[in-house]
Amino acid sequence: MKKWIIIVVVVGLLGWAVYDFAINKETTQELDPDVGLEKGNLAPDFELETIDGETVKLSDFRGEKVMLNFWATWCPPCRAEMPDMQKFHEEHDEGVILAVNLTETENSPRNVVKFLEEYGISFTVLEDKNTTVGNIYRAQSLPTSYLINSEGKIHNIAVGPLNYELMVQEFEKMD
């Protein structure tokens, strides 16, 4: 009886080792070694809904320069930055602004809509309802912006608010 128990345990462990190796091999093959959060890395792709309910992926904007901005309505530096982002959006056709609201941190989703109306925001606003994308992009300090070139690679990272002039300068530096 002991012999059979030992055989079953050994076979089980061997089976688990083979399964675990196969799963890890598949996972590592799927990961692109160039994807990351450093300058020059391919920005991690994600999919979120806009305030209007449209589904958007970061990769949808390949071929365009993107400012990926993480923000919240309760954040004073975010409030200070928004008018400059709107001005940039209105005056420059060379780039896309994707403003990711960390919706989970808001007191009410209605606050976001009121904020956008108050500031006259017309660029794309995405809802990160579970802060999943914010966590992937390590957006602990708000606002945090990733400037992504037309190849989808991170050109620069800004923690804290950007003003209009800095936005123009950074977009001009990108390919």
SS3 126: strand
Q: Are 112 and 73 in contact (CB under 8 A)?
A: yes
Confidence category of residue 175, pLDDT binned at 50, 70, 90: confident
Is the residue at 38 inside a domain?
Answer: no
What's the structural domain count of the chain?
A: 2
- Both 114 and 150 in one domain: the answer is yes
Is the residue at 134 inside a domain?
Answer: yes
Which structural domain range is residue 3 located in? Answer: 1-31
Rg (C-alpha) for the chain, rounded Å, is 22
Mean pLDDT on 111-132: 97
- Both 60 and 145 in one domain: the answer is yes
Cis peptide bond prior to 143, omega within 30° of 0: yes
Say which CATH number the domain at 132 has: 3.40.30.10
pLDDT for the residue numbered 66: 98
Percentage of residues in the chain having pLDDT higher than 70: 83
Confidence category of residue 11, pLDDT binned at 50, 70, 90: low
Q: Is the pLDDT assigned to residue 166 strictly greater than 60? A: yes
- Both 62 and 138 in one domain: the answer is yes
Ordered strands of the 65-71 beta sheet = 55-57, 47-50, 124-127, 95-101, 65-71, 144-148, 154-159
> In whole numbers, what is the pLDDT of the chain averaged over residues?
88
SS3 54: coil
Is the residue at 107 inside a domain?
Answer: yes
Confidence category of residue 29, pLDDT binned at 50, 70, 90: very low
- Both 19 and 57 in one domain: the answer is no
- Both 131 and 169 in one domain: the answer is yes
List, for residues 41-95, the tens digit of each pLDDT value. Answer: 999 999 999 999 999 999 999 999 999 999 999 999 999 999 999 999 999 988 9
- Both 24 and 52 in one domain: the answer is no
Q: Is the pLDDT assigned to residue 26 strictly greater than 90? A: no
Mean pLDDT on 156-175: 94
Query: Looking at the DSSP assignment, which residues form a beta bridge with residue 96?
Result: 66
pLDDT for the residue numbered 20: 53
Is the residue at 36 inside a domain?
Answer: no
- Both 59 and 137 in one domain: the answer is yes
Q: What is the pTM of this model?
A: 0.81
How is residue 41 written in tokens?
């890395």
What proportions of the chain, in percent to the nearest 5, are helix, strand and coil? 45, 20, 35
As a whole number of angstroms, the distance between CA 57 and CA 64 comes to 13
As a whole number of angstroms, the distance between CA 159 and CA 143 comes to 6
Q: Is the pLDDT assigned to residue 135 strictly greater than 60? A: yes
- Both 119 and 91 in one domain: the answer is yes
How is residue 158 written in tokens?
């800004």
Is the residue at 39 inside a domain?
Answer: no
As a whole number of angstroms, the distance between CA 118 and CA 103 comes to 18
Is the residue at 145 inside a domain?
Answer: yes
Is the residue at 37 inside a domain?
Answer: no
Q: Is the pLDDT assigned to residue 17 strictly greater than 70? A: no
- Both 76 and 134 in one domain: the answer is yes
- Both 67 and 17 in one domain: the answer is no
Is the residue at 96 inside a domain?
Answer: yes
- Both 27 and 96 in one domain: the answer is no
